[in-house]
Amino acid sequence: MICSTSILYAMRRWRIISFTVGEPWTVSDNHSATLVPLSTVIQTLPLSIAYLLYMLASMESVRGVNVPMYTTLRRTTVVFTMIVEYLLTGQKYSSPVFGSVVLIVFGAFVAGARDMSYDSYGYAIVFISNITTAIYLATIARIGKSSGLNSFGLMWCNGNVWKDVEKLISIPTIYAGLVCGPILLLWTYIRGDLETTMNFPYLYSPGFQAVMLLSCIMAFFLNYNIFLNTTLNSALTQTMCGNLKLNVIGQCLGFLGSGLYAYCKLKGK
């Protein structure tokens, strides 16, 4: 989050990007202007909350089951996404699109059939992760259309609540208040993850820190592409992306389902 916030802030101040749709990237900034109006930040609070739940559930679900079973169960996210989109926006899909979703889910279970091992807690947390993922993506699509923010602006508000207080004190503009950061910090402290991290023997190793920084930068670009794809297309389209399976049959069925969905999308069905 610190890495993403720093990159966005630097690019915005250097006038490389803008945060709102239709705003010129080279618009001049003055010190009395906020990067994003407080009213817009409040409007995007549900997105920050959805992201927080999505992150916590996703990280916990990885611990609950083995990787093949995790991948299999995560493919059912497309079903939850369709349900959430219908509940939030009334979005309905045609029979061919619905068939492609069924085919993808079936292919996932074919791929993970050999690794089936029932674990009530593991299954439950993965399905919770699927639900939070669907809510997160649907929230991106909904707020992206109503807030007037582009993908960069949504990413900025997703992790931050920034308020201009220059009018209150005679110093350069100060921005403060993180939404997700403090909550996650408290959560890692309660779970003991923070202590484990601080005791990691290679924490201050230049090599480890370089790899961690690169990982954070890659996460920034990954999140940007998620926001961009979801706002330009739909939550379901984003869920469909990257349906690689763990064996040949699963891969073929997943690829066939994704291809069918893409055909239906292009044909406007």
The whole-number pLDDT of residue 171 equals: 30
pLDDT, tens digit, 9 for 90 and up, residues 133-168: 888 888 888 887 777 777 777 777 766 543 333 333
The whole-number pLDDT of residue 167 equals: 34
The whole-number pLDDT of residue 168 equals: 31
Entry pTM? 0.70
Q: Kindly report the three-state secondary structure assignment for every residue of the chain.
A: CHHHHHHHHHHHHCCCCCCECCCCCCCCCCCCCCCCCHHHHHHCHHHHHHHHHHHHHHHHHHHHCCHHHHHHHHCCHHHHHHHHHHHHHCCCCCHHHHHHHHHHHHHHHHHCHHHCCCCHHHHHHHHHHHHHHHHHHHHHHHHHHHCCECHHHHHHHHHECCCCCCCCCCCCCCCCCECHHHHHHHHHHHHCHHHHHHCCCCCCCHHHHHHHHHHHHHHHHHHHHHHHHHHHCCHHHHHHCCCCCCCHHHHHHHHHHHHHHHHHHHHCC
Q: Where are the domains of the chain?
A: 38-268
The whole-number pLDDT of residue 112 equals: 62
Question: Could you list the mean pLDDT of each consecutive 10-residue stretch along the chain, which spans 269 residues?
Answer: 82 81 54 58 78 84 76 81 83 82 77 64 85 87 78 73 35 41 82 89 93 91 84 80 55 75 76
The whole-number pLDDT of residue 208 equals: 94
Q: Please give the mean pLDDT across all residues of the chain.
A: 75
The whole-number pLDDT of residue 214 equals: 94
The whole-number pLDDT of residue 165 equals: 32
pLDDT, tens digit, 9 for 90 and up, residues 87-129: 877 778 888 888 888 887 787 677 666 655 667 787 888 888 8
